[in-house]
């Protein structure tokens, strides 16, 4: 049985990048063709083969479009990597920008009201929700403080006139909203329960605005992890009240080949005259790569 498990065809996570004319095009993305992919596409030549390139976050800064994502091999824990593109359309690889002694993913990068750039990754493996910042973007991220002293999956931030809302998912698959007057203030630890429905209870990216409305991407995990992406329209957003409704159950009614096994994360950002959308997807890797992985697991090199 153990040998058969070694020979099971392995999944491969990659990220696709779309060029859009407006944020509203997100709702028709299933009919569009990506213009660029991030992640592995060749043969496993070592134990460093990146079987997971996922959780993309787009961020524009100083005339460049940055993409941050989780990278993981089959032999290590999640790390945060980055690439960026200038007006010339050429992508530059920056490599690892954040690594911890615990698994990290979901590199939510955003600008604070104080003008600083922050990252709120998933740090649930540490048992806490850590906030990071940097003075040497996109490198050298450092911990600022603990926002919530308990593990939450895929934390996301929404700024309001009254303060900050932090959405995160507990180990019991409960989506909760925690509030504070600011990033430097104490968040409500208990949080408001929004839903326990696994089809929408885990965020799949930062909330975004399209057609004048605020939407929260959600991971559709109703039957399995990372099955599809749902979109929730935020109807009420206040310091003491949050309400949303489902508007898109499956962003990809029919998944293309590169995400044949599922998808669970998206991010959108404006750069130049266009909008860019990054979506991750999971497919079956080449069978030869599964054989090579079995070799590396059995013989170590």
In the predicted model, what is the mean pLDDT of residues 228-241? 92
CA distance 242 to 41: 41
Place 1 in a pLDDT band, splitting at 50, 70 and 90.
Answer: very low
Token pair of 124 as six digits: 């649930």
CA distance 176 to 160: 17
Q: For residue 232, give the nearest of 248, 221, 220, 219 by alpha carbon.
A: 248
Place 162 in a pLDDT band, splitting at 50, 70 and 90.
Answer: confident
HSE toward the beta carbon, residue 89, CA cutoff 13 A? 6
CA distance 301 to 299: 6
**pLDDT of 242 over the 50 cut:** yes
Q: How high is the pLDDT of residue 298?
A: 86
**pLDDT of 3 over the 90 cut:** no
Q: How high is the pLDDT of residue 110?
A: 98
CA distance 259 to 283: 5
Q: What is the pLDDT of residues 170-199, one digit of tens each?
A: 999 999 999 999 998 999 888 999 999 999
Q: State the SS3 of the chain.
A: CHHHHHCCCCEEEEEEEEEECCHHHHHHHHHCCCCEEECCCCCCCCCCCCCEEEEEEEEEECCEEEEEEEEECCCCCCEEEEEEECCCCCEEEEEEEECCCCCCEEEEEEECCCCCEEEEEECHHHCCEEEEECCECCECCEEEEEEECCCCEEEEEEEECCEEEEEEECCCCCEEEEEECCCCCCCCCCCEEEECCCCCCEECCCCEEECCEEEEEEEECCCCCCCEEEEEEEEEEECCEEEEEEEECCCCCCCCHHHCCECCCEEEEEECCEEEEEEEEEEECCHHHHHHHHHHHHHCC
Token pair of 267 as six digits: 């991010």
State the pTM of this model: 0.96
What angle is formed at CA 132 by the lines to CA 126 and CA 135, rounded to 5 degrees?
Answer: 150
Q: pLDDT over 70 for what percent of the chain?
A: 97
Across all residues in the chain, what is the average pLDDT?
95
Token pair of 232 as six digits: 């929730």
Place 9 in a pLDDT band, splitting at 50, 70 and 90.
Answer: confident
Q: What is the pLDDT of residues 22-40, one digit of tens each?
A: 999 999 999 999 999 999 9
């Amino acid at each position: 049985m153990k040998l058969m498990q070694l020979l099971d065809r392995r999944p491969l996570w990659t990220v696709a990048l779309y060029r859009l004319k407006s944020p509203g095009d997100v709702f028709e993305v299933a009919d569009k063709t990506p213009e660029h992919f991030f992640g592995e596409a060749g043969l496993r030549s070592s134990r460093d083969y990146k079987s997971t390139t996922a959780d993309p976050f787009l961020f524009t800064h100083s005339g460049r479009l940055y993409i941050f994502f989780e990278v993981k091999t089959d032999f290590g824990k999640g790390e945060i990597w980055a690439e960026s593109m200038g007006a010339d359309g050429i992508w530059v690889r920056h490599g690892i920008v954040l690594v911890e002694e615990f698994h990290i993913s979901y590199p939510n990068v955003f600008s604070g009201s104080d003008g600083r750039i922050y990252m709120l990754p998933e740090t649930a493996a540490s048992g806490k929700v850590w906030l990071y910042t940097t003075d040497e973007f996109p490198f050298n991220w450092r911990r600022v403080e603990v926002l919530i002293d308990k593990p939450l999956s895929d934390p996301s931030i929404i700024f309001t006139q009254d303060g900050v809302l932090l959405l995160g998912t507990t180990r019991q698959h409960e989506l909760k909203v925690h509030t504070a007057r600011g990033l430097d203030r104490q968040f409500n630890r208990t949080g408001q329960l929004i839903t326990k429905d696994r089809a929408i209870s885990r965020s799949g990216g930062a909330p975004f605005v399209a057609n004048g409305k605020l939407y929260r991407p959600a991971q559709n995990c109703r039957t399995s992890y990372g099955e599809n992406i749902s979109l929730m329209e935020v109807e009420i957003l206040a310091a003491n009240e949050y309400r949303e409704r489902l508007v898109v159950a499956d962003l990809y009614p029919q998944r293309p080949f590169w995400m044949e096994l599922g998808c669970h994360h998206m991010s959108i950002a404006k750069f130049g005259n266009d909008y860019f959308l990054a979506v991750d997807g999971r497919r079956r890797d080449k069978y030869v790569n599964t054989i090579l992985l079995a070799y590396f697991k059995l013989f170590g090199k």
